[in-house]
Amino acid sequence: MNKEIFVGIIYHYCSPEAFISIAKNKKLWLSATNNMNDSAEGVWLIETLKKVLSINVNSINRSSRDYIYNHLFLNNNIKFISCFSKENDLLSQWRAYAQDGEGVAIGFDEDKFELSSGFASNHPDPKESIKINDVLYLNNVELEAAIIQILRKHGIILSDGKDEISSEMLVKLSAELSFLSTIVKNVSFKEEKEKRITYSTLVMGNGEDNSTVILYPFGEMHYRISGSFLTSYFEFGFKNDAIVETIRGPKNKFSQYDIETFMGLNGLGLARAHRSTATYR
Q: Is residue 91 part of a domain?
A: yes
pLDDT of residue 4: 47
Chain segment 13-57, per-residue pLDDT in tens: 999 999 999 999 999 999 999 877 665 767 899 999 999 999 999
Question: Domain range spanning residue 113?
Answer: 9-275
Q: Is residue 229 part of a domain?
A: yes
pLDDT average, residue stretch 124-134: 95
CA distance 116 to 101: 31
Lowest mean pLDDT among 10-14, 39-43, 223-227: 39-43
Percent with pLDDT over 70 in the chain? 96
Say how far residue 90 (Cα) sits from the centre of its chain. Answer: 19
Alpha carbons within 13 angstroms on the beta-carbon side of residue 144 total 11
Given a cut of 70, is residue 6 above it in pLDDT? no
pLDDT of residue 154: 96
Q: Is residue 1 part of a domain?
A: no
AA letter at 178: S
Q: Is residue 129 part of a domain?
A: yes
Q: Is residue 4 part of a domain?
A: no
Number of domains comprising the chain: 1
- Report helix, strand and coil shares of the chain as percent, to nearest 5: 35, 25, 35
Q: Is residue 280 part of a domain?
A: no
CA distance 244 to 6: 10
Chain segment 247-261, per-residue pLDDT in tens: 999 999 999 999 999
pLDDT of residue 5: 47
The end-to-end CA distance of the chain, in Å, is 19
Q: Is residue 156 part of a domain?
A: yes
CA distance 88 to 84: 10
Q: Is residue 267 part of a domain?
A: yes
pLDDT average, residue stretch 80-94: 96
pLDDT of residue 281: 65
From the list 263, 261, 255, 203, the residue with the least C-alpha distance to 19 is: 263
What global pTM score does this model have?
A: 0.91
